[in-house]
Amino acid sequence: MKSLTLFATLASFIVFCSFTILQEANADLVSIQETEYEEGWKDGHCEGWHDVKPNSYCPHAGYAPAPEIGKDTYKHGYNRGFKQGLKDARK
């Protein structure tokens, strides 16, 4: 009887820990979503690239740099990405 109680307690603990780990993993996945700034960065980089090389595919834009304070909108990301796309295409 003692072993059954111990087994039930251990099984409950394992289920609880598994549930907690899954919740944390799900929270991490939600935080990975792209921000407006990052979306603007990718779009701007592609447009800047096309400004120099009009008949080519857009390369991977890479990670967007951290936005400056107060400049975290799509427009700011687009403008910064556009400038970087121009530089990258001219290399």
Taking the domains of the chain in order of start, what are their residue ranges? 1-33, 36-91
Residues 24-37: pLDDT tens digits?
655 555 557 889 99
Looking at residues 55-63, what average pLDDT do you find? Answer: 92
Query: How far is 29 from 59, CA to CA, in rounded Å?
Result: 25
Percent of the chain at pLDDT exceeding 90: 59
Task: Determine the residue type at 90.
Answer: R
Global pTM reads 0.64
The DSSP letter of residue 67 is P
Q: What is the pLDDT of residue 34?
A: 86
Per the listing, tokens 């910064």 go with: 80
Query: How far is 80 from 38, CA to CA, in rounded Å?
Result: 10
Closest CA to 44 of 81, 75, 69, 6: 81
